[in-house]
C-alpha cells in the first residue's frame, strides 16, 4: 500500500497500477480500503478533478455564480447554484460595493480574507483593479491591527507554522504544505512586526499580506507563494496572558536554540525546494536580522525586505526627489531618526550609490550620512558600545542627545524617520528643517500610521508647503494654501514584488547589492513630470504591475550581467518577458 500511495503521488495513473490492487469481481480497490480489516488503518486519499460541491469549496478553482451553463452541466454543479450567471466584472462590482459599506477597516480586512478563502481569482481581481483603495487594508496600516488581533480573527491557517515543537521535523512540515512548486517564501519570527513590536506567532498576517502583494503587484502565482511563521515564543506579556493567543506560550528562545531551529529551517527549505526559491526575511528583530542575512546570503537566495527592500525604495525616492530639490546625490546630507534595519540599510545603499557616482570610497560617502538612535546622535565616542551594524556611522562629532539638536547641528537636507516611534518629527524639528532648506525632503517611514514620525499635514504646514514628503503608510492628499499635495508612499511594497519576479524569471541564485541599485533605478525612472508637479516622488501605485515589470527586468538584467542567472538563454526583451510571466486573475474556462 505504501508503494501504491507513493506511485499515486508521483503521478502514476490508476490504470498503470499493479493488477494485484483489484479485488474479486473486477472492482478496483486502489486505496486498499475494502481489503483492510476494521482494525487496520486506511488512507483518506483523494485523487480527483474537483467537481460539484467540492469545486465550489476549492478557492483556487471556484468561480461562484460565474460558472457558465456548460460548466454547470459538465462539472456537476446543477442545482448547487442559483440560476443566475454573473460575469466576473459584476461579481467584482458587487464585492466592492459590499466592502465599501464597512466603516471599520478590520471588517474590510476580514471580508477580503474570507473572499481569498472562497474565490482566490476574484480576490486578486479586486486587489489588482483597486490597488490604491485596498492596499491599506491587506497591507499597512490595517494588517498591523489584524496581527494584533490575529488570535481572535484566526479561522483557518493561511501559511505554515513552524514552532520549537517541530524541531527535528521541519522537512516533514514543509512537505505537509499542499503545493510543491514554491518560488517565494516570506518568513517572519514575529519579533518586530511593523512598528508594533513583538507579536509572536500572530505576525503571520505579515507574510500572508506580503505574499498577496507578490501576486497582485508582482504577478507571482499564488500557488508558488508560501507564508511561514517561525514560532520560538514571544516576550509580549499581553499575548502570553491572552487566552486566544495562537502561538507557543513561552518566552522567546534565543542563542543556540534559536539559531539551530533557523538553520534546520534554512537547510530544509533548500532540500525541499532547491537553490532557486526566494526566501524573504520579514520583520525579524535587528539582533537576528543582520546576522541571518550575512550567514545565509552566501548559501541561499535570501533577501531581507526591511534592510534591503526598504533601502531600494528610499534610494529611488531620494533620486527622484533630486528633480525637485536640485543637486546631485552627493550634494545632500542625510539625517536618520532610527539606526536599525531600515535606517542603516537605507544609509548603506545611499552611500554605495554616492560612491559609484562620485568614484570615491564608500568610507568617504558614509560621512554625508548621520543617524540618531534612542541614545542620541551616533558619534565616534560611542563606538565601543555600538552594535556592529551601527559602527560605520560613528563619525567624529561631539555627543548630541536628541533629534532637534542633531537637526540643528547637522543641518541635513534630507530627514528620514525609521524609528518605529510616532510623532517624533515634532513641530520644532520640521520647522528647523524648513529654516535652512528651501525644499526639505522629509520621509516618515515608520509603520503603521500610528507610528509615522509625522503626518502629511504636519510636514506641509510646518514647512509652509515647501516640504517634499513621503511616508511608509499612506496619507490622504492634503490641501495647503489652495494647492493639493499628494504624499508619496515610501514603502518597500514598490520594490519586493518586482524584485522577486526579477530573481525568479532569471533563475538567480544569489542576491547582490547591485540588483538593489538596479531595482531602485527602475523605480525612480517611472516618476513622470505630471507626478512631480503634484509633489510626488513615486509613481502612482495604480501602475504598479507595469512598474514591477520594469523593476523585474532591471534586476534580471543585472543578474545576467553578474553571472548569477541560471535561466538561459537570456530573453532579449526582459520587460516583455517579465510581463508575459505575470499571473492574471481572470477566470479560466473549464473543459
Ligand X SMILES: NC(=O)C1=CN([C@@H]2O[C@H](COP(=O)(O)OP(=O)(O)OC[C@H]3O[C@@H](n4cnc5c(N)ncnc54)[C@H](OP(=O)(O)O)[C@@H]3O)[C@@H](O)[C@H]2O)C=CC1
Binding-site sequence positions for a divalent metal cation: 282-283, 306
Residue 357 makes CB contacts below 8 A (sequence gap 6+) with: 328, 329, 330
Nearer to ligand CC(=O)C(=O)O, 306 or 348 (CB): 306
Nearer to ligand X, 261 or 400 (CB): 400
E-state strands within 190-285: 225-231, 278-281
Task: Based on the residue annotation, tell me whether 210 is a catalytic residue of this protein.
Answer: yes
Distances (CA, A) of 92 to 64, 301, 377, 545, 586: 12, 37, 51, 19, 11
* Angle in degrees, 0-180, between the axes of helices 205-216 and 120-129, rounded to the nearest 10: 70
> Is it true that the peptide bond before 437 is cis, omega within 30 degrees of 0?
no
CB of 310 to ligand X, least distance (A): 4
> Annotated catalytic residue: which of 63, 108, 125, 210?
210
- One of 283, 348, 373, 453 touching ligand CC(=O)C(=O)O (CB under 6 A): 283
CB of 282 to Mg ion, least distance (A): 5
Cell of residue 334, nine digits? 542625510
H or E segment and range at residue 369: strand 369-373
Task: Based on the residue annotation, tell me whether 368 is a catalytic residue of this protein.
Answer: no
Nearer to ligand CC(=O)C(=O)O, 212 or 413 (CB): 212
CB of 207 to ligand X, least distance (A): 14
Of the chain, the end-to-end C-alpha distance in Å amounts to: 33
Q: Which residue has the cell 539625517?
A: 335
Distances (CA, A) of 366 to 99, 293, 464: 47, 21, 31
312 binds ligand CC(=O)C(=O)O (CB under 6 A): no
What is the per-residue binding string for ligand CC(=O)C(=O)O in 57-76, x denoting contact by CB under 6 A? --------------------
* Rounded (10°) CA dihedral 367, 459, 449, 416: 0
Known binding residues for (S)-malate are 192, 447, 491
Nearer to Mg ion, 77 or 293 (CB): 293
Cell of residue 231, nine digits? 514560532
CB of 9 to ligand X, least distance (A): 40
Nearer to Mg ion, 165 or 287 (CB): 287
Nearer to Mg ion, 200 or 585 (CB): 200
Q: Which residue is nearest to ligand CC(=O)C(=O)O (CB)?
A: 447
**Apex 180 CA angle, 137 and 276, nearest 5:** 85
CB of 388 to ligand X, least distance (A): 12
> Annotated catalytic residue: which of 139, 494, 577, 587?
139
Q: How far, in Å, CA of 535 to CA of 439, rounded? A: 11
- Map the footprint of ligand CC(=O)C(=O)O across residues 104-143, applying CB under 6 A: 140
CB of 538 to ligand X, least distance (A): 11
Q: Which residue has the cell 542620541?
A: 376
Known binding residues are 192, 282-283, 306, 447, 491
Q: How far, in Å, CA of 222 to CA of 266, rounded? A: 22
Nearer to ligand X, 331 or 428 (CB): 428
CB of 139 to ligand CC(=O)C(=O)O, least distance (A): 8
Contacting positions for Mg ion (CB under 5 A): 282-283, 306
229 binds ligand CC(=O)C(=O)O (CB under 6 A): no
H or E segment and range at residue 50: none
Residue 372 binds: one of ligand X, Mg ion, ligand CC(=O)C(=O)O, none (C-beta under 5 to 8 A by kind): ligand X
Residue 584 makes CB contacts below 8 A (sequence gap 6+) with: 219
Q: How far, in Å, CA of 444 to CA of 455, rounded? A: 8
Could you tell me if 134 and 112 are in contact, meaning their C-beta atoms sit under 8 angstroms apart? yes
Contacting positions for ligand X (CB under 6 A): 192, 194-195, 286, 306, 310, 313, 337-343, 372-375, 418-421, 424, 445-447, 451, 472, 490-492
Compute and round to an integer the Cα radius of gyration of the chain.
Answer: 26
Cell of residue 490, nine digits? 515610501
- 535: nearest Cα among 462, 485, 471, 473: 485
Residue 343 binds: one of ligand X, ligand CC(=O)C(=O)O, Mg ion, none (C-beta under 5 to 8 A by kind): ligand X
Write out the catalytic residue numbers. Answer: 139, 210
Amino acid at each position: 500500500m505504501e508503494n501504491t500511495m507513493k506511485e499515486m503521488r508521483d503521478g502514476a495513473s490508476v490504470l498503470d497500477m499493479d493488477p494485484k490492487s483489484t479485488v474479486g469481481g473486477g472492482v478496483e480497490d486502489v486505496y486498499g480500503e475494502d481489503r483492510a480489516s476494521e482494525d487496520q488503518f486506511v488512507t483518506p486519499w483523494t485523487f480527483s478533478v474537483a467537481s460539484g460541491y467540492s469545486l465550489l469549496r476549492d478557492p483556487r478553482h471556484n468561480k461562484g455564480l460565474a460558472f457558465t451553463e456548460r460548466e454547470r452541466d459538465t462539472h456537476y454543479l446543477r442545482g448547487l447554484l442559483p440560476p443566475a450567471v454573473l460575469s466576473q466584472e459584476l461579481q467584482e462590482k458587487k464585492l466592492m460595493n459590499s466592502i465599501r459599506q464597512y466603516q471599520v477597516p478590520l471588517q474590510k480586512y476580514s471580508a477580503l480574507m474570507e473572499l481569498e478563502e472562497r474565490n482566490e481569482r476574484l480576490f486578486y481581481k479586486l486587489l489588482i483593479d483597486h490597488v490604491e483603495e485596498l492596499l491599506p487594508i491587506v497591507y499597512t496600516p490595517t494588517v498591523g491591527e489584524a496581527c494584533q488581533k490575529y488570535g481572535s480573527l484566526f479561522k483557518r491557517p493561511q501559511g505554515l507554522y513552524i514552532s520549537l515543537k517541530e524541531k527535528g521535523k521541519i522537512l516533514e512540515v514543509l512537505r505537509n504544505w499542499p503545493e510543491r512548486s514554491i518560488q517565494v517564501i516570506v518568513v517572519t519570527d514575529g519579533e518586530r512586526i511593523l512598528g508594533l513590536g513583538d507579536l509572536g506567532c500572530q505576525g503571520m498576517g505579515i507574510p500572508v499580506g506580503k505574499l498577496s502583494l507578490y501576486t497582485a503587484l508582482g504577478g507571482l502565482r499564488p500557488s508558488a507563494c508560501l507564508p511561514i511563521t517561525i514560532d520560538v515564543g514571544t516576550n509580549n506579556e499581553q499575548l502570553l496572558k491572552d487566552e486566544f493567543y495562537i502561538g507557543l506560550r513561552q518566552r522567546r528562545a534565543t542563542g543556540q536554540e534559536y539559531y539551530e531551529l533557523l538553520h534546520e529551517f534554512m537547510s530544509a527549505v533548500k532540500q525541499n525546494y532547491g537553490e532557486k526559491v526566494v526566501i524573504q526575511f520579514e520583520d525579524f528583530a535587528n539582533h537576528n536580522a543582520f546576522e541571518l542575512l550575512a550567514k545565509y546570503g552566501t548559501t541561499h537566495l535570501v533577501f531581507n525586505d526591511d534592510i534591503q527592500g526598504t533601502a531600494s525604495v528610499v534610494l529611488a525616492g531620494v533620486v527622484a526627489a533630486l528633480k525637485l530639490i536640485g543637486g546631485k546625490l552627493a550634494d545632500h546630507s542625510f539625517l536618520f531618526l532610527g539606526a536599525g534595519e531600515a535606517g542603516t540599510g537605507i544609509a548603506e545603499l545611499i552611500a554605495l550609490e554616492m560612491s559609484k557616482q562620485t568614484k570615491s570610497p564608500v568610507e568617504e560617502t558614509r560621512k554625508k550620512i548621520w543617524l540618531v538612535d534612542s541614545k542620541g546622535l551616533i558619534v565616534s565616542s560611542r563606538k565601543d558600545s555600538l552594535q556592529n551594524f551601527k559602527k560605520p556611522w560613528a563619525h567624529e562629532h561631539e555627543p548630541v542627545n536628541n533629534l532637534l539638536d542633531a537637526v540643528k547641528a547637522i543641518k541635513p537636507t534630507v530627514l528620514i524617520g525609521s524609528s518605529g516611534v510616532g510623532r517624533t518629527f515634532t513641530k520644532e524639528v520640521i520647522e528647523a528643517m524648513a529654516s535652512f532648506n528651501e525644499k526639505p525632503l522629509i520621509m516618515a517611514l515608520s509603520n503603521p500610521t500610528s507610528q509615522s514620525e509625522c503626518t502629511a499635514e504636519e510636514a506641509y504646514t510646518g514647512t509652509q508647503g515647501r516640504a517634499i514628503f513621503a511616508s511608509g503608510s499612506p496619507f490622504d492628499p492634503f490641501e495647503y494654501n489652495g494647492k493639493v499635495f499628494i504624499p508619496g508612499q515610501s514603502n518597500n511594497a514598490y520594490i519586493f514584488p518586482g524584485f522577486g519576479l526579477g530573481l525568479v524569471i532569471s533563475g538567480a541564485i544569489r542576491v547582490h547589492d547591485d540588483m538593489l541599485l538596479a531595482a531602485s533605478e527602475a523605480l525612480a525612472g517611472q516618476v513622470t513630470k505630471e507626478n512631480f508637479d503634484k509633489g510626488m516622488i513615486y509613481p502612482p501605485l495604480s501602475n504598479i504591475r507595469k512598474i514591477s515589470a520594469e523593476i523585474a527586468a532591471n534586476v534580471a538584467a543585472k543578474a545576467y550581467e553578474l553571472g548569477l542567472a541560471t535561466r538561459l538563454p537570456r530573453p532579449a526583451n526582459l520587460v516583455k518577458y517579465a510581463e508575459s510571466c505575470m499571473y492574471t486573475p481572470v477566470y479560466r474556462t473549464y473543459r
